[in-house]
Amino acid sequence: MTEHVNSYYAATANRTLAYPMLEGEVEADVCIVGAGFSGLSSGLHLAERGFKVVLLESARVGFGATGRNGGQIVNSYSRDVDVIRKRYRPEVAESLCSMIFEGGDIIRERIAQYNIDCAHRPGGVFAALNHKQMAELEAQKGHWEGLGNDQLELLDQDGIRQVVGTEAYVGGLLDKRGGHIHPLNLALGEAEAITQLGGRIFEQSPVTRIEKGANPVAYTEHGRVKAKYLVLAGNAYLPGGLEPSLGRKAIPCGTQVVTTAPLSEDQARALLPQNYCVEDCNYLLDYYRLTEDNRLLFGGGVVYGAREPDSIERLIRPKMEAVFPQLKDVQIDYSWTGNFLLTYSRMPQFGRLDDHTYYLQGYSGHGVTCTHLAGRLLAEALSGQAERFDAFATLPHIRFPGGRHLQIPLTALGAAYYSLRDKLAL
Ligand SMILES: Cc1cc2nc3c(=O)[nH]c(=O)nc-3n(C[C@H](O)[C@H](O)[C@H](O)COP(=O)(O)OP(=O)(O)OC[C@H]3O[C@@H](n4cnc5c(N)ncnc54)[C@H](O)[C@@H]3O)c2cc1C
C-alpha cells in the first residue's frame, strides 16, 4: 500500500477512508489515469456533464503534487500575459489570456457548490525583492486589469510591510482574486463530489499498460478499464515507461516544503496580519502562508530530476529565516518533497495522442488553478467543443536540449543563470 507522504496535509486530512482497488473489468465513457487536480477536475467536469467516469490512482487521491503543494491559488500560468502575447499568434494569445482567471473561479465555485471544507482564504501577494521586479508587477497589474481583474492593489515598501512582517521586499502586488486552500482537503472533497455524481475512483491501482486506439484500455495488476476515451493525468508521477512520448516532453523537478510548529496568534499575525499567501518574484521562488492552526508553511528551492535532498530542513530553513529572522528558534514539525513537471516553454501541455487518448501535464510549478481550468477544457473537448482545449493543444512544445543525460544538468545550469540574474536584479 502506498500512502500519502508524512506531511502537514496528510496529518490534517478530512477523509481517511480509502477507495477500493480495481479488480476485474470495468467499463466507462472516460478512464482517467491519476487522481491529482488534473484528473479530479476532469472527472468532476465530465461527471457533471453526464459522462460515466472512472479514475485510477496509483496510491491515494492527492498523493502527488496535489496533496503536497503550497496551496496557493495563483492566477495565470507559469508564463504570464506579457510572454504569451510576444510568443504566440494574436488569436491564440488572446484565447489563452482570456482564461487566466478561470481556474481560480472554478475552485471557489467547487468549494461553494459541494461545500468543501478546505480552509479557503482570499488574497495572495506577489512580493518584489528589487525595483526591476516591482516594475514587472506594475506591468502585470496593467495586463490583468485589461483582462478584467479589478481586485489588484500595488503595494509600496510601506504597503507590503503592512501585509508581510519582513523588511525583505521593496513592494508587491496584492491579488484579492488569489488566495489559499488546504489542497489535499480540496482534492478529497472533489473526489467525493465525483462519486456522488456516479463516478468511480480506484486507489492503489497503478496503471501498468495502456492500449490506445478507437477502444482504449487501461490495465492494472488486477483489472482493466475499457473506455471510449483515456486521459493521462499522472504529471510528474507518470512512470516513464507508460507513455514514453510524454516523458520526453518535460522534466520532473522536486520542490520542498516545511511547516513550523503552531505559532501563537500574536506571532502568526505579526508575520501575515491579513492571512494572505505570498510568493516572491524570483525565478527559483519562495512561497509561504499560514495554515488554519497558525503554522507557517514555507516552500522553495528546486531539485532538477526530482531527487530527494538529504535534509529538507537544512535546505529550506535558511530561506525561511532570511524572510522571517524572528523564526530562528521555531521548531519544524513537518517537511516533505513534491514533484512538479517543468516544460521548456513553461506553458502547460494539453493534447491528444490519438482521437481517443488525451493528456494534461506540465504546469511548471503553477498548477493549482490551471489544473482546474484543464479539466473544464477537457470536458468541453470531449463534448464536441474543442476550441479552447485546442488553443493549448496547438502550442508548439520543444524538448529540452541535450538528450536524456544532459537535460537535467543543462536545466540546472539555466536555472542557476536566472537565479544569478535575480540576485543581481538584472
Ligand atoms: C511542493 C509543491 C508546491 C507547489 N505549490 C504550488 C502552489 O502553491 N500553487 C500552484 O499553483 N501550484 C503549486 N504547485 C504545482 C501544483 O501542485 C501542480 O501543478 C498540480 O498539483 C498538478 O496536479 P496533477 O494532477 O497534474 O499532478 P499530481 O498532483 O502530481 O497528480 C498525478 C497523480 O497521478 C498518479 N499517477 C501517476 N502515474 C499513475 C499511473 N500509472 N496509474 C495511476 N495513477 C498514476 C499519481 O500517483 C498522482 O496522484 C506545487 C507543486 C509542488 C510539488
**CA of 287, closest atom in ligand 1:** 8
User: Is 422 part of a structural domain of the chain?
Assistant: no
Residue 421 lies in a domain: no
The mean predicted confidence, pLDDT, of the chain is 94
Is the per-residue pLDDT at 418 higher than 70? no
Kindly state whether residue 345 falls inside one of the protein's structural domains: yes
In a domain, 419, yes or no: no
Taking the centre of ligand 1 as the mean of its atom positions, its distance from the CA of residue 234, in whole angstroms, is 8
239 lines ligand 1 (CB under 6 A): yes
Task: Pick from 56, 57, 69 the residue to mutate for probing ligand 1's pocket: most ligand atoms within 8 Å of its CB.
Answer: 69
pLDDT at 409 over 70: no
| Residue 327 confidence (pLDDT) above 60 | yes
Any ligand 1 atom below 6 A from CB of 231 = no
Ligand 1 atom nearest 238 alpha carbon: 38
Least Cα distance to 284 among 377, 176, 419 occurs for 419
Of 34-43, 50-59, 403-412, the range with the lowest mean pLDDT is: 403-412
- Assess whether pLDDT exceeds 70 at residue 413: no
Do 335 and 257 touch, CB atoms closer than 8 A?
Answer: yes
Among residues 154, 44, 52, the alpha carbon closest in space to that of 378 is found at: 44
The C-alpha cell 478512464 sits at 31
Question: Whose CA is closest to atom 19 on ligand 1?
Answer: 367
Q: Which of 233, 206, 199 is nearest to 38 (CA)?
A: 233
Distance 43 CA to ligand 1 centre (A): 15
For ligand 1, whether the C-beta of 362 sits within 6 Å is no
For residue 301, tell me if it sits in a domain. yes
Residue 426 resides in a domain: no
Strands 296-304 and 250-260: antiparallel
Residue 353: pLDDT above 70?
yes
Domain region containing 120:
8-403
- The answer, yes or no, to whether any atom of ligand 1 lies below 6 A from the CB of 237, is yes
Average pLDDT on 131-140 reads: 98
Residue 70 beta carbon below 6 angstroms from any ligand 1 atom: yes
Provide the 8-state DSSP code for 300. Answer: E
In a domain, 311, yes or no: yes
pLDDT the model gives residue 405: 63
For residue 307, the tally of other CB atoms under 10 A from its CB is 13
What average pLDDT does range 210-222 have in this prediction? 98
411 pLDDT band (50/70/90 cuts)?
low
Can you give the pTM of this predicted structure? Answer: 0.97
The CATH number covering residue 344 comes to 3.50.50.60
Whether 357 is in a domain gets the answer yes
Query: Ramachandran region of residue 116, left (φ > 0), alpha (ψ -120 to 50) or beta?
Result: beta
Question: Given pLDDT bands bounded at 50, 70 and 90, which one contains residue 140?
Answer: very high
pLDDT at 4 over 70: yes
Q: What percent of the chain has pLDDT over 70?
A: 94
Domain count, the chain: 1
